[in-house]
Chains A and B, each alone.
Chain A
Amino acid sequence: MDSRISEVAGQAPPRSRTPLASTVNDALKIVIVGGFGVGKTTMVRAVSEIRPLSTEETMTGAGIGIDDTGGVREKSTTTVAFDFGRISLNEQKVLYLFGAPGQQRFWFLWDRLFAGTLGAVVLVDTRRVADSWYAIDRLEHHGMPFVVARNNFDEPEHTLPQLREALSLSDDVPLVDCDARHRASSKSVLIALVNHLYALSTAQETSP
């Protein structure tokens, strides 16, 4: 081991990364989709065994749209950035959680980044329900199973059935409440998703 790290290329010394077990040989993906400031990174942080990291994928010219920042936060970039964290499931499997922006240009990268994803969580901010319509439409288009989670920063104004109607969400898509700041609550959202996937998968296995 180096006692003194002198990285070239101006890199910061390695942080205290939590390494994966050497036996891990299969990584799975779940994507959390939602508008700006809805709490995607908060949810990743609540359950991840590492501090959320962020990276980006560069866009080619096609599909670069205009962000609807709606006064939430100023963001303008020609790349798609996303956050992620991870959960070691057992000695072989690790689950990666991605927080992905739901804006238009992101969906051009869906196949490149998120092919093979188990399923998705659509995180909804009730003050900005319209942000979620597009994400739900795109997930359906990609045939990606998902659940919808309402992130309650405050006491919700509407009931879940009212929200289901506002989202035009079909009855077979689970809709749950959560507080993305809390580990137990975020964990229950992920469990709701995997239970949903399990039901779909067993139905598929038993059907002729």
Chain B
Amino acid sequence: MIREAIDGENPDRLYTVTGGRSRADENAFDLVTLIVSESDPTPGMQSEHAAILRMCRSPVAVVEVAAELKLPVSVVKILLCDLLDTGRIAARHPSASVGRTPLPHPEILKQVLVGLKNL
């Protein structure tokens, strides 16, 4: 893959940061999949990749990564795919996965209730 220098002022930034790709595997990441860095940024790494690795030293949800980078969620998923494929991040997927029974288990809901009441 060709890594190009990114100019933040470039109007075609979204196209550039993803190398022209428009879709990641939609199922690879949920909005709230938690991302954890498995390595530090390396010199010459695409700046968005490096920013993600710095940001995710403690777990960060995909949607927070998107908000911090000011990029659409779908673009961030493409960047995360790159990092996951090269083993630089780990992904902690939500237990409430798609296609399961529509309602969460009472035990999980109990934990949510306790957490909310402690607010």
Contact = CB atoms under 8 A, between A and B. Distances in A.
* Main secondary structure on B side of the interface with A: mixed
Contacts of B75: 58
A9 B116 contact: no
B92 to A, nearest CB: 5
Nearest to B97: A116
Nearest to A89: B115
Contact of A191 (B36, B50, B105, B116): B116
A201 B114 contact: no
A84 interface: yes
Nearest to B34: A27
Contacts of B48: 9
A24 interface: yes
Interface in A121-158: 143-145
A7 B51 contact: yes
B6 A89 contact: no
B101 interface: yes
B39 interface: no
Interface in A193-208: 194-195, 197-198, 200-202, 204-205
Contacts of B72: 55-58, 79
Given A47-B119, A191-B113, A26 B101 contact: no
Contacts of A86: 61, 64
Nearest to A203: B103
Contacts of A24: 34, 59, 92
Contact of A198 (B32, B61, B94, B113): B113
Contacts of B7: 9
B77 to A, nearest CB: 10
Nearest to B107: A201
Contacts of B67: 53-55, 84
B91 to A, nearest CB: 11
Interface string B82-118: 0000000000101111101111111011111111110
A19 B58 contact: yes
B47 A8 contact: yes
A170 interface: no
Given A114-B31, A118-B104, A10 B112 contact: no
A79 B106 CA distance: 36
Interface of A: 7-11, 14, 17, 19-22, 24-29, 47, 53-58, 79, 84, 86-90, 93-96, 98, 112-118, 143-145, 183, 187, 190-191, 194-195, 197-198, 200-202, 204-205
10 contacts: A11-B51, A19-B59, A20-B60, A57-B74, A88-B115, A89-B114, A93-B115, A197-B104, A198-B109, A201-B106
